[in-house]
Structure 1
């Protein structure tokens, strides 16, 4: 089974994430896409992060009706901050018959050379890259690596930061969030 891995804080998960994950599952050679909820990104401060179990629950709510998508909390049991190569290694040990494929935006590809053991990632894993207009180009030889595949996935210019700001200011997030996620946020008064 070919499993695409879309890593993220999902703070909160929004329709941009869902459209991207669904597109990758439906329009590439992947059998499924797992959303990997990251407790802490090594490149971002954790101060604005909602508790990891709330973020995990919101992802579950958002994808509940889509059999092509899954979610994993594998990084919750790993040292923090979590590094992609360690997660990939752990997943490969746990699911030896699965072929894991990394999904990332062009902005992350441009900084891949700063990631822990990035050469090993490129040696062992295919990487599907979706467009991020305005992002810097990845340096050579990363950009021309045969494991890198550009996928013309649709992209909405929506950020979790913008959504958190709307929630804090009491503005509508209708159509930005899956309905069950929006209801959960309102019920628990999150991001206020």
Structure 2
């Protein structure tokens, strides 16, 4: 089975995440997309994150009606801060019959050469890239790399930060997140 790994803090997951993941599942050779909820990225401040299991629950609520989109807590038990190469190694050991690929926005591809062991990632895994509006250029080595595949998808300018700030300001964010997620955020009074 070919699995695309969509990493993120999903703080909270929103309709933009679902649109990208569904686009990858429907318009590439991926069988499933796993939303890998990251406990703590080496590049983000941890203080703004909701509890790991609350974010996982929101991903579960958002994906429950999609057969080919799955939540994953695979990084919760790995040493922190974690690096993608470690997760990929662990997943390959745990699921030897699956072929794992990365899903990332073009903005992340621009900094991919800074990732720990990025050469090893490219040696053993494909990368599916969706378009993003961002400054800078993609390193020339990635422009026509055989392991990097660009997948056409709508450009999403929606961000979790925007949603958190809107909630804090008392604005209605209901159209921006799946209905079950909106209810969970509202019931738990998150981000206020």
Cα distance per residue 1:10-54 (max 9 Å; x no partner) = 000000000000111111101110000000111111111111110
- The answer for the alignment partner of 2:120 in structure 1 is 120
* 1:59-116 superposed Cα distances (whole Å, 9 cap, x missing partner): 0000111111011101000011111010011001000010111100011100011111
The 5 Å alignment of 1:51-130 reads 51-130=51-130
Is 1:20 paired with 2:20? Answer: yes
| RMSD between aligned residues | 0.9
Size of the aligned set, in residue pairs, is 192
Within the alignment, does 1:46 sit opposite 2:46 as a pair? yes
CA positional deviation for 1:134: 2.8
**1:144-182 deviation digits (Å, cap 9, x = unpaired):** 321111111112210100000011111000210001101
Q: Distance in 1 between matches of 2:26 and 2:142?
A: 26
Separation in structure 1 between the aligned mates of residue 66 and residue 91 of structure 2, nearest angstrom: 22
User: Partners of 1:143 and 1:5 in 2: how far apart?
Assistant: 21
TM-score under structure 1 length normalisation = 0.98
Structure 2 residue ranges without an equivalent (≥5)? none
Q: Counterpart of 2:159?
A: 159
**Partner Cα separation in structure 2 for residue 156 and residue 107 of structure 1:** 12
TM-score by length of 2: 0.98
Match in the other structure for 1:148: 148
Secondary structure at 1:134 match in 2 = coil
